[in-house]
Amino acid sequence: MILILCESKDLSVSEVIDWISFLGYNYKRVNTDHLIDGNYTLKLNNDQVSYQSNSITDDISMIWYRGGSEVSSYKYPVLEKINAAKSRMIYNSMKMEKKMLKKSLYDNVLEKEWLSNPLQIDKLNKISTLRLAKECGVDIPSSLITNSKQELLDFLNEHKELIVKPIYEAYDFNLHKEEIYMEYTSSISLPFIQKLETTFFPSLFQERLQKEFEIRSFYLDGDFYSMAIFSQNDSQTEVDFRRYNTEKPNRSVPFKLPENIEKKLNKLMRTMELKTGSIDIVKTKDGRYVFLEVNPIGQFGMVSGICNYNLEKIIATYLIKNEKWKKQVKS
């Protein structure tokens, strides 16, 4: 049986599940939110895990982990009875308890076959990934983390045009009921830098690449499914294509990465012990293929639909094949 662990609502997961069912295979889906209100038990004396009174330890051989921005449905009723300050403190404590609760589940099913192991993903970060990419022969942007205005001015003088992006991941901030603020990669100029204090909060700066187009490549255990995105043709998306123009979407087409680039990226993914992920690359006007980052969860819905790759079926088939292989090895 295949276990699908979900941390967020994801339409693409449902489409993969539809294919698993159509192909006549058994699965069990567990939303991690339901570990709190869905009758979850971990018996430490015999390493048994049950969910909704059914064991998910013995019959499971393959696990597909789908992380993301968790959408919590649990309301923590006790917090409604106390003041706001105490409520925030208790909520943060319960949030950490929930994090350890999920980790306890992952720890107790580690001997299974994983597609996206959350404990491995937790070891990764944007900066270490760039360093590993360079060691694997992958071209990366010239990058600087600094809190020094003078260092930033020197970096601008070297590269002429710069961008700034989060060191961690991009967040969205729901500060008001009807207003959501998003973090994006942004271009910065000399007038902006001149207004900065002598020191500021440490930030990640990179050379601004002169794009021919961007590439989003979904990776699955050695195979690449790539899409070229002509984001530079729209002023709204030319720096960060996630500033989607819904009225005039970017032209996006199927694309095949050069074989030598795929070999280097495959080496990088193997080095990071990732079997899947969504890789972002820039093809520059002077012919470079520059690696930006990888989402180790691997968002694939957009690439699948636009490029007609039918990745939902491919992933379902992969999960079934590897579940059968793991079960044979175990027996």
Taking 80 as the threshold, does the pLDDT of residue 32 lie above it? Answer: no
Q: What is the mean pLDDT of residues 234-255?
A: 71
Q: What is the mean pLDDT of residues 290-312?
A: 92
Q: What is the mean pLDDT of residues 111-131?
A: 87
- Is there a contact between 323 and 26 (Cβ–Cβ < 8 Å)? no
Residue 71: pLDDT band by 50, 70, 90 thresholds?
very low
C-alpha–C-alpha distance, residues 146 and 199, integer Å: 9
This prediction has a pTM of 0.84
Residue 329: pLDDT band by 50, 70, 90 thresholds?
low
Tokens matching residue 242: 């996630």
Q: Which residues are paired to 176 by β-bridges?
A: 179
Q: What is the mean pLDDT of residues 218-242?
A: 82
Please write the tens of the pLDDT for every residue from 313-326.
Answer: 999 999 999 887 76
Percent of the chain beyond pLDDT 70?
Answer: 74
154 — phi, psi (to 5°)? -65, -40
Please write the tens of the pLDDT for every residue from 157-212.
Answer: 999 999 998 887 766 666 555 666 667 788 888 999 999 999 999 999 999 999 99
Name the CATH architecture for the domain at 211-295: 2-Layer Sandwich (3.30)
Please write the tens of the pLDDT for every residue from 135-156.
Answer: 999 999 999 999 999 999 999 9
326 — phi, psi (to 5°)? -65, -40
Residues of the chain with CATH 3.30.470.20: 211-295
Tokens matching residue 315: 């992933």
Residue 77: pLDDT band by 50, 70, 90 thresholds?
low
| CA 304 and chain centroid, separation | 16
Give the pLDDT of residue 193: 94
Q: Which residues are paired to 146 by β-bridges?
A: 203
135-139: list long-range contacts, CB under 8 Å, 24+ apart: 135/271, 136/264, 136/265, 136/267, 136/268, 136/271, 137/264, 137/267, 138/261, 138/264, 138/265, 138/268, 138/291, 139/288, 139/289, 139/290, 139/291
Q: Out of 238-247, 262-271, 273-282, pick the least confident.
A: 238-247
Higher pLDDT, 150 or 120: 150
Taking 60 as the threshold, does the pLDDT of residue 79 lie above it? Answer: no
- Is there a contact between 66 and 8 (Cβ–Cβ < 8 Å)? yes
Taking 70 as the threshold, does the pLDDT of residue 73 lie above it? Answer: no
Mind giving me the DSSP string for 79-99?
GGGS-HHHHHHHHHHHHHHHH
pLDDT averaged over the chain? 83
Residue 52: pLDDT band by 50, 70, 90 thresholds?
low
- Is there a contact between 129 and 184 (Cβ–Cβ < 8 Å)? no
Give the pLDDT of residue 148: 96
C-alpha–C-alpha distance, residues 185 and 54, integer Å: 45
Those residues whose C-beta lies under 8 Å from the C-beta of residue 14, and which sit 6 or more positions away, are none
Higher pLDDT, 40 or 220: 220
Higher pLDDT, 195 or 99: 195
- Is there a contact between 327 and 306 (Cβ–Cβ < 8 Å)? no
Q: What is the mean pLDDT of residues 237-258?
A: 76
Relative to beta strand 162-165, strand 143-148 is unpaired
Taking 70 as the threshold, does the pLDDT of residue 241 lie above it? Answer: no
Give the pLDDT of residue 22: 95
Percent of the chain beyond pLDDT 90?
Answer: 47
Burial 260-279 (b: 16+ CB within 10 A, else e): ebbebbbbbbeebebbbbbb
149 — phi, psi (to 5°)? -60, -40
| Residue 283: Cβ-neighbour burial (10 angstroms; 0-12, 13-18, 19+) | buried
Mind giving me the DSSP string for 232-281?
GGSTTTSS-TTS--SSSPPPEEEE---HHHHHHHHHHHHHTT-SEEEEEE
| CA 278 and chain centroid, separation | 7
Taking 70 as the threshold, does the pLDDT of residue 30 lie above it? Answer: yes
What angle separates helix 11-22 from helix 311-330, to the nearest 10 degrees?
Answer: 60
- Is there a contact between 224 and 218 (Cβ–Cβ < 8 Å)? yes
